[in-house]
Amino acid sequence: MAELGLLKGRSSGVLFGYLITRALLPLVKLAGLMPRRWTKPFAVVLELYSRPFHVVNYLGSRVGGRLCSPCVMQTMLDRAVATLGQRLARESETTLGHGMCARPKFQQAKQR
């Protein structure tokens, strides 16, 4: 069981992050299967939409924190963590070794 203390207050950012991760896994898996040369334009597109994504992420966690009780959020978080753990356990070493080009801002940060 995840810590209830993570979900205290009006923001449920941790929960929302896990829910988004769970929802985006098929996209991540698809990106990992793309030829490397296709992943750079894909990374640029991700970069273009990062600001709206951050706004939605923030607003979603704020709204979720107001609409759901800590007990409901705890149950949702436990379910999301369990689902992610099950999916990870089913992946092969080959699949886990797939990758793609990093977003341009990540590459710039690494070079500093």
Structure tokens at 89: 């356990």
Q: pLDDT tens for the chain, 112 residues: list them.
A: 444 454 454 447 788 888 888 888 888 888 888 888 888 888 888 888 888 988 888 888 888 888 888 899 889 999 999 999 999 999 899 888 888 777 667 656 556 5
The whole model's pTM is what? 0.67
Structure tokens at 34: 């793309």
* Residue 5 CB neighbour total at 10 angstroms: 8
